[in-house]
Amino acid sequence: MKLYHIGFSKSDLGDDAPETVLLSGEPERSQYIAHTYLQNVRLLSKYRGLHSYLGNLSDGTPILVATSGMGASSLSIVVNELVQVGIKRFIRIGTCGSIQPSVLVGSIVVSQAALCRQGAALDIAPIEYPAVADPYLTVALVETARKLNIPYHLGITASVDTFYEGQERRESSANAHLQPWLKGITATYRNLNILNYEMEAGTLLKMAGVYGFAAACICAVVAQRTEAETIFISDKDDTVNKAIKVVIKSLR
């Protein structure tokens, strides 16, 4: 039976079913990964904008590419259903904003763990439950980035539920009035040596611990929050492609 949200079932994956999925928030990124880096690509579903593709690496390894949507709530639904169809390894390929002056736009961040400030995760595990990436997948991503001479940073990510208020955006937000506890939160995180903001990794990594799968997260840095709130759209595609290349090379 097809899973309600992802729109396909385990039987749709065939006899040589994939155990690894590459997760992206954008359906366009999922499509790009599948059609650029995989062979024998087949669209499984595009229900609710959650595009999923089945294909193979050049060595024949089956891979699933799936869209998680924006934010932890959507991701939690997709991940739950992907576990039900047999996925055992999850690698999130996303974008992020740097909160450290040394983490520049154009580089990538590999998350070894996450500060998880997300409501969806609280339904899965208590707030003190660690959000930790799989060490083997994480080391593989770092080693590949080093071999490809792609600038990278390894460290802790802040995963929050909102793009504007939760990441202390005021100038670019319709709401300039932050709750008191959010004022100065970016500086606080910077002093805790947190590298970046994003919106999904914390819940994914907590789910990995609870559900028993391996997970990693790699993000392209497309904003430098020590300077401005804006996204560097002109650099986004190139930087995201660096992250994708690291993942594909690691899997090969």
CATH at residue 102: 3.40.50.1580
pLDDT of residue 2: 96
Q: Is residue 169 among the annotated active site residues?
A: yes
Model confidence, pTM: 0.97
Residues 69 and 137 in one domain: no
Tally the domains of the chain.
2
Residues 216 and 235 in one domain: yes
Q: Is residue 117 among the annotated active site residues?
A: no
pLDDT of residue 235: 87
Q: Is residue 153 among the annotated active site residues?
A: no
pLDDT < 70 positions in the chain: none
The DSSP annotation for the chain comes to: ---TTT---GGGG-SS--SEEEEES-HHHHHHHHHHH-EEEEEEE-GGG--EEEEE-TT--EEEEEE--SSHHHHHHHHHHHHHTT--EEEEEEEEEE-STTS-TT-EEEEEEEEEE-HHHHTTS-TTS--B--HHHHHHHHHHHHHTT--EEEEEEEEES-SSGGGT--TTSS-----GGGTTHHHHHHHTTEEEEESSHHHHHHHHHHHT-EEEEEEEEEEETTT-S---HHHHHHHHHHHHHHHHHHH-
User: Which of 34, 61, 87 is a domain's end point?
Assistant: 87
Q: Is residue 5 among the annotated active site residues?
A: yes
Q: Which of 26, 81, 168, 200 is catalytic?
A: 81
Q: Which of 29, 51, 92, 169 is catalytic?
A: 169
User: Which of 23, 58, 87 is a domain's end point?
Assistant: 87
Residues 105 and 220 in one domain: yes
Residues 46 and 164 in one domain: no
Q: Which of 5, 48, 170, 190 is catalytic?
A: 5
User: Which of 87, 122, 143 is a domain's end point?
Assistant: 87
Residue 83's domain spans which residues?
A: 1-87
